[in-house]
Amino acid sequence: MTEARKQGALAGIKVVEFGQMVSAPFCAKLFSDYGADVIKVEPPTGDAARRAGPFPGDVPHAEKSGLYFVNNTNKRGVTCDVRTAEGRQLFLRLLAWADVLIENNLPQQMRAWNLDYESIKAVNPKLVVISITPFGQTGPYSGWNGYDLNAYHLTGASSRYCGRPGEMPLEHGTFSADYFGAISAATWGMAAVYGRELVGGGQQVDVSCAESIAAAFIGGQNIGGYAQDGRFDKRTGVGMPQGAPATIMPCKDGHVWMLALEPGQWNGLRKVMGDPDWADLDIFQNMKTRAENADVIYSFLSEWTMEHTKMEIQERCQAAGCPITAVYTVAEAAEQPHLKARDYFVDMEHPQLGKLKNLGAPFKLPACPGGPTQAAPLLGQHNEEVYGGLLGLTAAELQTLRTQGAI
């Protein structure tokens, strides 16, 4: 562990991660990037994210997956097959060492491995178990097989936000429910860690990705409102029914997010556009009447935006106090001076990928900085270090475990 991580906000907390793909690995990354000692436990075949990509040159390689690389920094990595008796016992020894277990397996799968919460609690009563699943540990859907988008669409969020009115809902960005679930899990999982003295030990933190999305995306506007009096907001497609301009608009070299609702913002936009005559029309004098005449105002605005580049529009409008920004492509965002100035991109070395950039810390803690300093582990990279150095197994015992298929 680097000196910087030894001084991290979560230094001293010991975590075992037993998950795949996104939700559990990203939750564990939030711990590891801020100083916690995280041991990632993979099956001998590896985390499924290793097979998901994206890959350099679109050539699959278990050690070159971008998804795996980003979500697994600052961790030690071991292999363990808990389906075997020897592997399960080895895993339980790791749990006896740990403060936290982070996992995203279905409840019935954990029971089949005899790794349900009650079984784990018997080994380490102080352990905080963070369980992240699409639909939670209880309820009629808890055993359903599902993925990120299943959780997202179950909440009603797609019928509210994705697509135009009267048309088929659209998919949302992949893994959004997993990432929302992971952040919720890290937040309340940490609360459970620091609350152990209050409750007399550990507990299971039951995180439903669907409910994380419901709380964050639709909340009182939809499920809450409907529960109260049967009302809910409908999809609006382009713009906002409450006010205008508030939409994505085309420009000379791409698109801009156009937002100018408040009087000061609207007047700033008028000034940038040269105060055109049409802006004096009565129907454009407040945001509500502008929304009621959205087709008209967006037609006028697009004539102006199409004459200018997105960076020109962004800079001039921001200078006038108007919250309008460019819609960046991924390539443009990677070169964005603001993110560079905040050290959001960090240079890393990887034994298979070489030198490349990774995403830095999403939260700034000046007194105890965090962020990735070590690349994601290779498959089984730390077997000897963890099983030998931490648990005290001999070289002969490790070889026996390999022969048995336990690691």
pLDDT score for 255: 97
Question: How much is the pTM?
Answer: 0.91
What mean pLDDT is predicted for residues 279-290?
93
In order of their start, the domains of the chain are 3-217+342-404 (3.40.50.10540), 246-333 (3.30.1540.10)
Residue 225 has pLDDT above 70, yes or no: no
More confident residue, 85 or 149: 85
Q: What percent of the chain has pLDDT over 90?
A: 75
Please give the average per-residue pLDDT across 155-160, as a whole number.
74
Q: What pLDDT, on a 0 to 100 scale, did the predictor assign at position 262? A: 94
Mean pLDDT of the chain: 91
The stretch 283-299 carries a mean pLDDT of 92
- Residues 131-143 pLDDT 10s: 999 999 999 999 9
What are the tens digits of pLDDT across the range 298-308? 999 999 999 99
Residue 105's pLDDT is 97
pLDDT digit string, tens, across residues 24-51 = 999 999 999 999 999 999 999 999 999 9
How sure is the predictor about 240, in pLDDT bands with cuts at 50, 70 and 90?
confident
Per-residue pLDDT of 315-326, as tens digits, reads 999 999 999 999
**Cα of 128 vs its chain's centroid, Å:** 21
Report whether pLDDT(10) > 60.
yes
User: In the structure, what pLDDT confidence band is assigned to residue 215 with cuts at 50, 70 and 90?
Assistant: confident
Predicted local distance difference test score (pLDDT) of residue 59: 96
